[in-house]
Amino acid sequence: MPKPSWAKAHLSMGYNPSDFRWHVGQCPSMSGGWKERVRQALDEQGLSMKEASIAAGMGETFVRDILERDRTPKIDHFMSLAVVLKKPVSFLLGEAKSPEIKLRRVEVRAFVQAGIWEESWEWLTERRYDVFVPDDAELKSKPLYAAETRGPSMNKRYPENTVVVFTKLIETRERPIPGKRYIVERKRASGEVEHTVKLLHKDDNGRLWLLPESTDPLFQAPISLEDGMHDGDEVTVIGKVVYAISKE
């Protein structure tokens, strides 16, 4: 299976520390010479508009549309182009005083999907691909992992094919925090495992629950973190989601 081209760097400005999501918006300060700087960077990299568009995962006409058809790009798309052109967004926008936005590469090497039981959730090497996330100071010393969502079990929060980037609790030694989303593993006695994403909730009695966020009735039953599953499956919270990257 070919690696998704959109996964180059689909991020957006407006980083919100409260939930570690980046929200899509229009490029700020799109005035005064930015097109010339993009053309200059294209020349420096020896790329045509078509080549840069495809490398950024935006389709063949993306660069031509913003340079010649006066279409204002969303900042997440512009950041994808900046990665390809090897220039900080602040340079392309002409914001000399703006700090450079540093990105960190994370390999997407697994999938999460409720109802799918396999011996391993990790892909073979040839199916893996990279995404880019902000190189946040609080996460700099922590290994990051990424998985692609499948199916409807998380669709109220994460559309299918969203990439969730997470830390592993066994490495960070953090206690689960209500209100955050976590990668959850269910393991059968046979050794087969299921991985999905759940919201951690504390009820009025102080009990902790793992809540699915799905429009599908098949995936709406909460799981008690204290009691586990009645069928004997072992439930483990293994990672905290710190970024989510959605396909446009």
Tens of pLDDT along 16-69?
333 333 333 444 445 557 888 889 889 988 989 998 888 877 778 888 888 887
pLDDT confidence band for 88 (50 / 70 / 90) = confident
Domain 5-93 shares a fold with domain 103-245: no
pLDDT confidence band for 149 (50 / 70 / 90) = very high
- 98 pLDDT exceeds 50? no
CA 3 – CA 121 distance, rounded (Å): 17
Least confident range of 75-84, 94-103, 157-166: 94-103
Q: State percent of the chain over pLDDT 70.
A: 79
Say what the pLDDT of residue 96 is.
Answer: 52
- 183 pLDDT exceeds 70? yes
User: How many distinct helices (H) and strands (E) make up the chain?
Assistant: 6, 11
Q: Which residue has the higher pLDDT, 180 or 189?
A: 180
Q: What is the CATH number assigned to the segment(s) 5-93?
A: 1.10.260.40
pLDDT confidence band for 148 (50 / 70 / 90) = very high
Could you tell me if 33 and 94 are in contact, meaning their C-beta atoms sit under 8 angstroms apart? yes
β-pairing, 103-112 with 145-149? parallel
Give the tokens for residue 234. 């072992």
- Give 104-145 pLDDT, tens digit per residue: 889 999 999 988 888 788 888 888 888 888 888 899 899 999
Say what the pLDDT of residue 100 is.
Answer: 55
103-245: CATH topology = Umud Fragment, subunit A (2.10.109)
CA 220 – CA 116 distance, rounded (Å): 16
pTM for the model = 0.63
Say what the pLDDT of residue 2 is.
Answer: 42
Three-state DSSP at 237 gives strand
Please give the distance of CA 240 from its chain centroid, rounded to a whole number.
13
Could you tell me if 236 and 187 are in contact, meaning their C-beta atoms sit under 8 angstroms apart? yes
Domain assignments of the chain as residue spans, ordered by start: 5-93, 103-245
Say what the pLDDT of residue 20 is.
Answer: 30
Taking every pair of C-alpha atoms in the chain, what is the biggest distance, in angstroms?
A: 63
